[in-house]
Structure 1
Amino acid sequence: MRRIDLNCDLGESYGAWQMGQDEAVLDAVSSANIACGFHAGDPGVMRRTVQLAAARGVVIGAHPSLPDLQGFGRREMALSADEARDLVLYQIGALWSFAKSAGVPLRHVKPHGALYNMAARDAALAAAIAAAVAEFDRGLILVGLAGSALLAAGRNAGLHVAAEAFCDRRYRADGSLTPRREAGSVIHDVDAAVAQGLSIALHGRAVAGDGSEVAISADTLCIHGDKPDAAEFARRLRAELERAGVAVAALGAAA
């Protein structure tokens, strides 16, 4: 039976500002990437999100970002390899403290937003992120865009890696994601996004923005928790995957 993980970016509220439908989404996914305070989240939100995930048996991962609360971590910025390593290590440690308090392990690390996209193409930045993960715990899984420099850096650092694909993002012909600033970069139609997720999980391919076919080998599919229909989409996607004979299982789970 085919297996795939469903991950979602969660814990992205901040103070009185509420983002997403975390509790409802957690009922449908197998892995949670929890914001660590640099693009979203605060200590209270981090604690609550860890507890919500743990209560549902959803595995927990750190979702480190560039230090950009105002821009939700989606604006690129220049930083040195040392800066990148340190900010990722800092954020992993912050989330780990809440996971330890809740009595659950930290399973993976997935960079967020601009940091994720920059590391997909920048080998030096990718190596710095992989170094931070390896310094913290070589047992952690590094999640990155399928076919990207981040996965190559993770392997070079001796880490387990997981190739990620996106149901609701339009791909370019080279397998990279269409930047959010471009029209059509996000697939808003739930049916179309579910269809893309199924195509990736079952056949290892998606249709790029130019109409060409892109080969994508994925271990995990991402659901964006900041979308207003995130819970509905998560439920629909999981149901359709299981109907097609694909088992949803968390990263690192025993076969």
Structure 2
Amino acid sequence: MVRKTIDISCDMGEGFGPWQLGSTNDEQLMTLISSANIATGFHAGDPNLMDLSIRRALGNNVALGAHPGFRDLQGFGRRRVEASAEEMVNDIVYQIGAIREFARLHGASLQHVKPHGALYMALAADEAASTVFVNTMRRIAPDTFIYCMGASATYRIAAEQGHPVVREFYADREYDTTGKIVFTRKPDDYNPKKAADRVLRACLEGKVRPIDGEDIDVGFESICVHSDTPGSVELLVAIRETLTANGIEIAPPSAATARAADQAPPR
């Protein structure tokens, strides 16, 4: 199915105190996206940066999302922390609470929750943890979208439970033949034209070329670029220009979009 509208999100506010890390380009990046995944203090972010990120998002008509991670500032949340399903989800609830209060301070609400890094991948592979996560979201934030991979336990369980869910396509990550993302860090991964062409093909044809085989189908409602990816601004500029030149509008996902994702056949 050719997409006429697509969301673009970016992980934002990923500094801490005087350490800027991935937040150096946030002000410029915020002008190029439709949804922001704002770090909530465990892998990155602090109260002042959360507040600033929300004000920047609202100033650019960008939808707000919580970006909770493992409690791992030193490893930027990209190291697996051994924890029970309940511990993982309680940490997510804690972080949602923090960012949700800052949103309320500015008269806004959260559009979505997108786990970060190793926590995202841990939930994707763990049926029990994803079940606890989705059931908890249905209690504390029943209308708040969950952002996740299509090829994940998180997506499958959210779809089964009828919770609004948005599948992501990663512009700056490779895929394997199962539809899962893989972290390669090859310099060519960050070529703006290559990334834009790959995204456009995914939007027009619903296909992506994995690192270990032939083309696979990929379903998604949102495109993600990481703020700490080398050349993230240039990547997003190229992606936006390519999509709009091909008649594809950039906008946050709607409730109808999320419901359609719920009803899509799980991978």
Query: Which TM class, normalised by the smaller chain length?
Result: over 0.9
Letter in 1 for 2:88: A
Once residues 62 and 117 of structure 1 are traced to their aligned partners in structure 2, the CA distance between those partners, rounded to angstroms, is 16
Once residues 187 and 133 of structure 1 are traced to their aligned partners in structure 2, the CA distance between those partners, rounded to angstroms, is 34
Cα contact 2:14–2:44 (8 A) shared by 1: yes
Letter in 2 for 1:31: S
Does the alignment pair 1:128 with 2:117?
no
Cα contact 1:169–1:185 (8 A) shared by 2: no
Q: Which residue number in structure 2 is paired with residue 4 of structure 1?
A: 6
Letter in 1 for 2:178: D
**Which deviates further from its counterpart, 20-29 or 189-198?**
189-198
Once residues 226 and 105 of structure 2 are traced to their aligned partners in structure 1, the CA distance between those partners, rounded to angstroms, is 26
Cα contact 2:164–2:255 (8 A) shared by 1: no
Q: 2:117 aligns with which of 113, 118, 123?
A: 113
TM-score normalised per structure 2:
0.90
Once residues 105 and 51 of structure 2 are traced to their aligned partners in structure 1, the CA distance between those partners, rounded to angstroms, is 9
Cα contact 1:140–1:160 (8 A) shared by 2: yes
Does the alignment pair 1:62 with 2:86?
no
Q: CA deviation at 1:254?
A: 7.5
Question: SS of the counterpart of 1:71?
Answer: coil
- Identity %, equivalent residues: 35
Q: Which residue number in structure 2 is paired with residue 149 of structure 1?
A: 153
Change over 3 Å in CA distance of 1:185–1:139 after alignment to 2:
farther
Once residues 201 and 53 of structure 1 are traced to their aligned partners in structure 2, the CA distance between those partners, rounded to angstroms, is 25
Cα contact 1:170–1:185 (8 A) shared by 2: no
Q: Deviations over 1:61-118 (max 9, x none)?
A: 1001111111011111221111012111111111000100011111000110011112
Q: Which residue number in structure 1 is paired with residue 87 of structure 2?
A: 83
Once residues 40 and 153 of structure 2 are traced to their aligned partners in structure 1, the CA distance between those partners, rounded to angstroms, is 23
Change over 3 Å in CA distance of 1:144–1:138 after alignment to 2:
same
Question: SS of the counterpart of 1:199?
Answer: helix
Question: SS of the counterpart of 1:83?
Answer: helix
Change over 3 Å in CA distance of 1:186–1:150 after alignment to 2:
farther
Does the alignment pair 1:137 with 2:141?
yes
Once residues 254 and 231 of structure 1 are traced to their aligned partners in structure 2, the CA distance between those partners, rounded to angstroms, is 30
Q: Which residue number in structure 2 is paired with residue 161 of structure 1?
A: 165
Q: Which residue number in structure 2 is paired with residue 247 of structure 1?
A: 249
Q: Which residue number in structure 2 is paired with residue 98 of structure 1?
A: 102
Does the alignment pair 1:30 with 2:34?
yes
Cα contact 1:28–1:234 (8 A) shared by 2: yes
Once residues 185 and 111 of structure 1 are traced to their aligned partners in structure 2, the CA distance between those partners, rounded to angstroms, is 26
Does the alignment pair 1:171 with 2:204?
no
Q: Which residue number in structure 2 is paired with residue 236 of structure 1?
A: 238
TM-score normalised per structure 1:
0.94
Equivalenced residues, count: 253
Q: CA deviation at 1:157?
A: 3.4
Change over 3 Å in CA distance of 1:192–1:89 after alignment to 2:
same
Letter in 1 for 2:114: K
Question: SS of the counterpart of 2:42?
Answer: coil
Question: SS of the counterpart of 1:27?
Answer: coil
Q: CA deviation at 1:183?
A: 6.3
Change over 3 Å in CA distance of 1:150–1:186 after alignment to 2:
farther
Unmatched 5+ stretches in structure 2: 258-267
